[in-house]
Every structure is written in C-alpha cells, then in structure tokens.
Amino acid sequence: MTGARDGGPTPRTALLTGVSSGIGEAIGAALLDAGWRVVGLSRTPPATAHERLVHFPVDLSDAAALDGTLDRILTAAGPVEAVVHAAGILRVGRIGEQTLADGAAMWRLHVEAATQLVERLAPRLPDGGRIVLLGSRTAAGAAGRAQYAATKAALTGLARSWAMELAPRRITVNVIAPGATDTPMLRDPGRAAVAPRLPPMGRFVDPAEIAALALFLLSPGAASLTGQQIVVCGGASLL
C-alpha cells in the first residue's frame, strides 16, 4: 500500500488523529511527502496547510463529537485506506498523586477513541488496509506513570485482537511504542517529577523516526506484519 506523488494516480487516503502536534504532526508530514491524502483530526488546525490535507476539528475525548465527525468523513471524504491513531495525552503521578479523572481522560483518548475509530472504519477499509496505533514503551510499566502505562498496554491487547479478526481480509494492525520522544509532551512542566531519562544513544527519539516507521507499516513491505508492538526507544529498553 503506497500513496501517489503529485501528478500520479489518485492518492490513497489515511485518517490520522493528533495531526497538529508532536508525533502526529510528523506522521502527517511524512504521509503528505509520500503522496498520501491525509484526513486529519485534532482540536487545533495544523500549522501548515497542504492541498492533500483535509482537517476536521474535533475533541477526540468527546465520544459524541467524534461520532459526528466520523459521519461527516464517511459522507464527504471518500474511501479511507489506512487509520493512524496518534493522538495522546500524559498525566503523571506516583501512588497517592493521580486521580481517577486523570486515568479516565487517558483511557478515553487512548483506548476508547481507538475503539471508536476501528469500530466505525475497519468494516469500510479495503482488503489490505492498515491500522496503526501509537502506544508507548512504558506499556510494560513505569514508576509514576501507572495509569498512562495501563492505557498504552491496553492498545496492544486491542491490536492483537483486531489483527486476528482482520487477518482474513489482509488488514494489518500494529502498535508503534516510542520511548522518550522529542515532542511538546516531553517538555511538559507537569511531568517534571517523573522526567524522562536520556536513552543510551545519548538523545531522545526524533518524531521523524516514528513517522518513518508508520510510513513503512503502510507500505507493501509490511503486508505480513500484523498484531505486533514495535518499540523505538534509543536503547532505553535494554537497561
């Protein structure tokens, strides 16, 4: 599955959440550069306009609003060949510091929104379509990030389950699990108490590296790769 360069065949369309910031923004740029058409979902519009980028403003934490937006997309945006759920938030805190509201907000955005997208869009994806979810290396557990880790771990269970169901249609479902990545989330003052450690490679992961992996997962070369969590962490998981 590939996009199309300008002047070539009709480009394939990817629906991408979190398109206006961080990893989602990097994935959007990579998709556009590769010739894809991008249907982007986020609360704020992307900083850069593009003729193949169609933005739908929506608060993904609002289930009714997302459902209405998906109705509009299915009516007006044409066929979608790939779904990439990159939107995310981080609420940190050790035992006694986090609230149920923190966990509910992350669960809604990471897990329920992903479920809503797949429930609505997977039946309409063509055979050979692709689904990519943005997880986290901390899904294996991290002090001060228990609720965040739990929501990201849930994505792996979802991805493997969906991959089993969709395999007969050759639709792949995979999770990209980044370590500390150089995005605005990394620099959020609210996480100062549990600041990320520099990976053994001596730098944080570049969002463009995550975008390159996402692009590969949408390519013909990844047609047999499904139900997997791929960790990109600069060596942090080796410690």
Active site residue ranges: 148
In angstroms, the Cα distances linking 1 to 44, 92, 130, 218 are 29, 37, 8, 6
Tokens of 219: 């390519």
The DSSP symbol for 137 reads G
Instruction: Decide: 98 and 144 in contact? Cβ < 8 Å.
Output: no
Bridge partners of residue 42, in order along the sequence: 57
Can you list the positions of beta strands (E) in the chain? 13-17, 37-42, 53-57, 82-85, 130-134, 172-178, 229-232
